């Protein structure tokens, strides 16, 4: 596939006269061809109109047909894996093995969300039968199910150039729901985005889908991105990125004449609580595990543990010593973009200068124009300092973490209560530690979307039970998850049919249950056909 | 119970030095005692702090205990029914029989939402078991369920002084979810609000609940209301009222440092489509049914049909003639407040002057200071005029409706496509009409929360399958319903537990399924204990 650097509008390419933009190899700072061209606000309008038109037909597609489409995307991604991974490696500096794993995760998501659409899991079908003899009023027949919202705009993540990008989790869940998608790709992997978009475009052809269900518009967030969010035909937004970026989209969406939902995943410092029993039992093992989680992928995961509360314990010192040694011997790594690397260096600098914070380790890395090399960093402070300085909760995106030494479990609990919303919170403890930590667990369940026990938060399983979400500011909407089949529920709404003739009902609600899906019938879950 | 006119803060009353406010009988304009006093922003803070403190314990209550509390409220409301109905009748002008029915609905809601909490229906429990042998990474054990958001502020509706007021649908669904509630009552039924709040206060005592789970603060929407929405400890808002009022709350919530969800039900014109087959089959019956729906409760229902599209048909004329005759013979009725009545008169005046709109009937009603008497009104226009004048979609809250004569089904479809979001859309047709109206049905399913076939939209059944919601501007959030057990889902969010010891898990997620609830286990719905 030859790259053209042009936006994709259904089955066509957008020709444009703007100034060219370059893709950069962050490991070398070198430009990689071709030139890429930004879309205009006229293209935004065209894509939205196209999506709204396609929605009329796409919203009629049964779940099984949507599944076929998602599976076709997965097949084509698999067939083009080598080219996609090669380009992504050049554009992001992420290792080939990691990118292969991430692409596999991308197929898994497509297939899993497709299966959820086909199985009726997200249809939420409910039937309450009529009772013509009820007094004082007869009871009508009422049936409801979830229907798609309409065109969805997806903003790609920089740190998952495949699994949370053009054909990533937000796109897969919106398509599984029956919503057309317009992607605004991240500038950190322009060519990868084009390769993946061409795959989706091919799948649209192969499955006879209305072409407007997928477009991809290159551009800057402030122009093309905001124009997409403000377009009246757009009905929801998915985003993964910074808090400032996510909040700008939330504010734009809330100020529309018709406000729309924004699902922004804006990062988190993912606190880890090391309880004394666990520390005394396996201090060095915990230090090694934590170090692996902090430095995985050069620390560029939303679930990277950036804040470690260590309870007073005999073995706390050896835990910290081991963590220092491992951090000091960590080789520098290439970050995704030079901008992210500069922000990382600034964050490390800020923590280095913070009063009461000890800079235990900072690994040197080659600096200079176009270089995105980052060294790991480890800071240590005490709970009193932490409780007195709100800026110590700021996220430093990269392989840095802050250890907070707590002199008691009460102090640890006080720190937990001060935390903002998080994607995850982790507790390491023995069964006795857990039994004595009910208030800590409850506090963290109130702050985070996922609680992890005796493991590390990096690694987000794609499954039915996953919550990758959490209260603001971790996300814009703590009622949602962006990973797992529940992600589909973000893009639907319930519609109720009263006294409808069976023939005019969607299959999901027909009396004979032709799809064989689970439904809540008169308050009871049932899958068999209901007696007529 | 003696009324004191004071706000309720947990188990105490708020003493205040502000200026007194009066409750008014809208039928006579007479003041009804006692004086009522507005709360202050200090009271807002106290109620929010109290609610947040109570949330710690209340969020631990199992569903069955929440059910017990809701059922106790229902019992006490039933025991005090006579006094509550008598006061509501004085304050709202609504007939005693209607208020008795509405109070019965209030118990039904409390009990039904309590049962939903106890049954685990809204827990959404999901379990994905571990697979230690999976390659390349072992699969962790993941379990998720819905947990309450935290303190919820409820703004009462004027038009349902019982079922959507202090102990109404929003309060019942928030409490069923496990969220403390702070009510800002409507000024149209101050004494009724106090009587009902005292009942809830009693139920809190009877059930040993933490007292902060319920407070009620009298006040003006612009001061006390906005202060409640802006309070950092408040986590969600329920509202029923005007579009301007709802939007003000949405904007305030979106502009908070931590934005929170607002569920505002802001009304609707509830279009009705009369297809030719149905008209020709039973024109007069349709006119009688429609007239009953338009004038029910002096037109003061959110689901009042304010816009009637009539297809060209042989019997269209007799339909319209019958509707005119019935409207002309409708006696005037007392509206809920003098302000609502003034707004109704202004709306009728506006439609009377609109170009191309024929004022078919306006029933005279006694006007004057303190009088809230409203007469029914019927307007007629054609589809071309309707399509050219957006303001003909404005809601006139009261017993008025606008008939739009359409010369073809295509014109009717064009009008449907132009509609804003609605709570309901209704179609009257024969099986042949329905078979030929797929695009109309699909268009309306995209615009409304509930589609009604051969019936009228007034009357909202409280059941599992109900959707009382719809795209903006009918509500702030088309993904939600404010009636039926799904209303509880507005006040929860998912939390996931990874690799937790069974003893530290909530009962809903324990391996043995001690609550016997339905759960999605490894992708399959199951209620039996899972093999360990």
* pLDDT given for residue A220 in this prediction: 85
**Residue ranges of E strands in A12-105:** 12-13, 20-24, 31-37
Cα A1 to its chain centre, rounded Å, is 28
A131: contact with B, CB 8 A cutoff: no
* pLDDT given for residue B196 in this prediction: 98
A221, pLDDT greater than 90: no
Identify any residues that bridge with A382 across adjacent strands, giving them in sequence order.
A405
* pLDDT given for residue B324 in this prediction: 97
Q: What percent of chain A has pLDDT over 90?
A: 93
* 3-class secondary structure, B525: strand
More confident residue, A181 or A17: A181
Please tell me the class of the A9-119+139-266+482-489 domain: alpha beta
A357, pLDDT greater than 70: yes
* 3-class secondary structure, B230: helix
Question: What is the DSSP secondary-structure string of A449-500?
Answer: EEEEESS-S-----STT-----STTSBS-TT--SSSGGGGGGGEEEEEEES-
Given a cut of 70, the residues of chain B with pLDDT beneath it are 1, 367-370, 529-532
Who's near B124: CB < 8 A, 6+ residues apart? B144, B145, B146, B492, B494
* pLDDT given for residue B136 in this prediction: 85
User: Which ranges in B120-260 belong to alpha helices (H)?
Assistant: 169-177, 190-206, 226-230, 243-254
A453: contact with B, CB 8 A cutoff: yes
Express each pLDDT in B436-473 by its tens digit: 999 999 999 999 999 999 999 998 999 999 999 999 99
Q: Nearest 10 degrees: CA dihedral of A283, A289, A291, A295?
A: -170
Interstrand relation of B492-498 and A448-453 (parallel, antiparallel or unpaired): parallel
Please tell me which of the candidates A261, A472, A501 has its beta carbon nearest to residue B434.
Answer: A501
DSSP state of B417: H
B136: contact with A, CB 8 A cutoff: yes
Helix orientation angle between A63-79 and A96-119, rounded to the nearest 10 degrees? 170
Who's near A294: CB < 8 A, 6+ residues apart? A304, A305, A306, A327, A376, A399, A400, A401
User: From the candidates B91, B102, B211, B302, which is the catalytic residue?
Assistant: B302
B435: contact with A, CB 8 A cutoff: yes
Who's near B410: CB < 8 A, 6+ residues apart? none
In angstroms, what separates the C-alpha of A204 from chain B's closest C-alpha? 23
ipTM rounded to 2 decimals: 0.96
Cα B373 to its chain centre, rounded Å, is 25
Please tell me which of the candidates A259, A452, A523 has its beta carbon nearest to residue B250.
Answer: A259
SS3 for B343-367, per residue? HHHHHHHHHHHCCCCEEEEECCCCC
Domain A272-453 has CATH 3.40.250.10: no
The owner of tokens 């259904």 is: A10
A277, pLDDT greater than 60: yes
CB A276, CB A411: distance < 8 Å: no
For the domain covering B8-266+482-489, report its CATH number.
Answer: 3.40.605.10
- C-alpha distance from residue A274 to each of A359, A399, A418 (Å): 20, 19, 17
* Cα A410 from Cα A420, distance rounded (Å): 18
Mean pLDDT of chain B: 95
* pLDDT given for residue A267 in this prediction: 87
CB A168, CB A460: distance < 8 Å: no
CB pairs under 8 A between A and B: 202
B97: contact with A, CB 8 A cutoff: no
**Residue ranges of E strands in A4-83:** 8-9, 12-13, 20-24, 31-37
Phi, psi of A32 (to 5 degrees): -115, 135
Within the 370-429 window of chain B, which residues sit less than 8 Å (CB to CB) from chain A?
421
Please compute, for residue A251, the number of CA atoms within 13 A of its CA located in the half-sphere on the CB side. Answer: 11
* pLDDT given for residue B532 in this prediction: 45
For chain B, what is the largest distance between any 2 Cα atoms, rounded to a whole number of angstroms? 81
* 3-class secondary structure, B111: helix
With bands split at pLDDT 50, 70 and 90, how would you rate the model's confidence at A81? very high
Identify any residues that bridge with B126 across adjacent strands, giving them in sequence order.
B144, B520
CB A485, CB A464: distance < 8 Å: yes
Looking at 3.30.465.10, 3.30.460.10, 3.40.50.720, 3.40.309.10, the CATH number of the domain B271-453 comes to: 3.40.309.10
Q: What percent of chain A has pLDDT over 70?
A: 98
A313, pLDDT greater than 60: yes
CB B449, CB B469: distance < 8 Å: yes
Say if A9-119+139-266+482-489 and A272-453 have the same CATH topology.
no
Q: Nearest 10 degrees: CA dihedral of B332, B333, B338, B342?
A: -40
Domain ranges of chain A: 9-119+139-266+482-489, 272-453
From B1, B495, B454, select the one nearest B200 (Cα to Cα): B1
Phi, psi of B269 (to 5 degrees): -100, 0
For the question of residue B511 being annotated catalytic, the response is no
The owner of tokens 């803070």 is: B45
A142 with B503: Cβ contact below 8 A: no
Identify any residues that bridge with A237 across adjacent strands, giving them in sequence order.
A153, A262
User: What's the N-to-C CA distance of chain B in angstroms?
Assistant: 55
Express each pLDDT in B314-343 by its tens digit: 999 999 999 999 999 999 999 999 999 999
Please tell me which of the candidates B464, B479, B523 has its beta carbon nearest to residue A520.
Answer: B464
Within the 465-494 window of chain A, which residues sit less than 8 Å (CB to CB) from chain B?
465-467, 469, 471-473, 476-481, 486, 492-494
A493, pLDDT greater than 90: yes
* pLDDT given for residue B402 in this prediction: 98
* pLDDT given for residue B241 in this prediction: 94
A144: contact with B, CB 8 A cutoff: yes
In angstroms, what separates the C-alpha of B505 from chain A's closest C-alpha? 10
Angle, alpha carbons B523-B526-B530 (nearest 5°): 95
């Amino acid at each position: 596939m030859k790259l053209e650097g042009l936006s994709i509008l259904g089955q066509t390419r957008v020709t444009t006269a703007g100034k060219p933009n370059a893709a950069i190899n962050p490991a070398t700072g070198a430009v990689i061809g071709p030139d890429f061209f930004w879309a205009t606000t006229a293209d935004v309008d065209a894509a939205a109109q196209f999506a709204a038109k396609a929605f009329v037909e796409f919203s009629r597609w049964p779940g099984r047909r949507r599944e076929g489409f998602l599976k076709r995307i997965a097949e084509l991604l698999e067939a083009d894996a080598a080219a996609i991974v090669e380009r992504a490696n050049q554009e992001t500096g992420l290792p080939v093995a990691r990118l292969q794993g991430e692409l596999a995760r991308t197929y898994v998501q497509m297939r899993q969300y497709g299966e959820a659409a086909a199985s009726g899991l997200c249809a939420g079908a409910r039937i309450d039968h009529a009772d013509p003899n009820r007094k004082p009023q007869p009871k009508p027949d009422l049936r409801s199910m979830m229907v798609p919202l309409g065109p969805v705009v997806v903003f790609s993540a920089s740190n998952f150039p495949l699994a949370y990008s053009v054909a990533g989790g937000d796109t897969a869940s919106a398509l599984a729901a029956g919503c057309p998608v317009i992607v605004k790709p991240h500038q950190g992997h322009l060519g990868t985005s084009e390769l993946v978009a061409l795959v989706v475009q091919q799948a649209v052809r192969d499955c006879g889908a209305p072409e407007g269900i997928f477009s991809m518009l290159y551009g800057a967030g402030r122009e093309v991105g905001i124009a997409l969010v403000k377009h009246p035909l757009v009905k929801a937004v998915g985003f993964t990125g910074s808090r400032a970026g996510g909040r700008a989209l939330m504010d734009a969406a809330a100020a529309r004449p018709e406000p729309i939902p924004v699902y922004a995943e804006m990062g988190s410092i993912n606190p880890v609580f090391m309880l004394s029993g666990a520390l005394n039992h396996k201090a060095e093992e915990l230090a090694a595990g934590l170090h692996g989680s902090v430095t995985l992928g050069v620390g560029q995961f939303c679930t990277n543990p950036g804040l470690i509360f260590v309870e007073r314990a005999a073995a706390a010192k050896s835990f910290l010593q081991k963590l220092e040694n491992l951090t000091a011997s960590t080789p520098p790594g290439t970050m995704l973009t030079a901008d992210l690397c500069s922000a990382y260096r600034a964050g490390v600098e800020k923590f280095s200068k913070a009063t009461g914070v000890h800079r235990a380790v900072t690994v040197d890395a080659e600096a200079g124009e176009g270089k995105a090399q980052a060294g790991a960093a480890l800071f240590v402070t005490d709970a009193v300092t932490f409780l007195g300085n709100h800026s110590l909760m700021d996220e430093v995106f990269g392989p840095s973490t802050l250890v907070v030494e707590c002199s008691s479990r009460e102090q640890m609990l006080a720190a937990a209560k001060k935390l903002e919303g998080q994607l995850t919170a982790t507790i390491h403890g023995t069964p006795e530690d857990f039994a004595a930590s009910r208030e800590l667990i409850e506090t963290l369940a109130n702050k985070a979307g996922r609680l992890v026990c005796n493991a590390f938060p990096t690694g987000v399983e794609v499954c039915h039970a996953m919550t990758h979400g959490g209260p603001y500011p971790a996300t814009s909407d703590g009622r949602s998850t962006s990973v797992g089949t529940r992600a589909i529920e973000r893009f639907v709404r319930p519609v109720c049919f009263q006294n409808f003739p069976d023939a005019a009902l969607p299959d999901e609600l027909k009396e004979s249950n032709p799809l064989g899906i689970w439904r809540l019938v008169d308050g009871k879950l049932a899958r068999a056909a209901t007696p007529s």
